[in-house]
Structure 1
Amino acid sequence: MTTTDDFRAHARELKADLDAATSEMMKLISEHQFSGPEWERVSQWQHEAFERWTSFLNERSYPDSGNHSISP
């Protein structure tokens, strides 16, 4: 697997986890469950998934796409 493939695979994995956590949180919201152990679990999961996603996006080790031109 190339560096670009690794990057894309990791991005897909992190995004899928964040999407799942956010969906679960939205489900609880639609059920008016804003407290309790399930809310705490899902809230923590969503927070940590978001932190992993933003850390990944802020890394400086993006694969080189070969396109260095900047268009106006």
Structure 2
Amino acid sequence: MTTTDDFRVHAHELMVDLDAATTEMMKLISAHQLSGPEWERVTQWQHEAYERWMTFLNERPSAHPGQNTEKR
């Protein structure tokens, strides 16, 4: 797999997790469940998913698509 493919696969996995966590949080908001153990679990999940996404985006600038990472 190329660096670009690796980036896309990992980015997709992280985005799916972040989207799922955010969706669950929005469901709780719609149900007016803004406290309790389920709220704590889901907000922690969403926070951690966001942090993983941001870490991924910021940790490997030389490996992002569109940038040449091969040595000549």
TM-score for both structures, normalised by structure 2: 0.85
Same amino acid, percent of matched pairs: 75
The structure in which a higher percent of residues are helix is: 2
- Root mean square deviation of aligned Cα: 1.6
**Gap change, CA 1:20 and 1:4, over 3 Å in 2:** same
- Deviation readout 1:30-53 (Å, 9 max, x if unpaired): 000000110000000000000000
Instruction: Structure 1 unaligned segments of length 5 or more: list them.
Output: 68-72
Aligned length: 67
TM-score for both structures, normalised by structure 1: 0.85
Instruction: Structure 2 unaligned segments of length 5 or more: list them.
Output: none
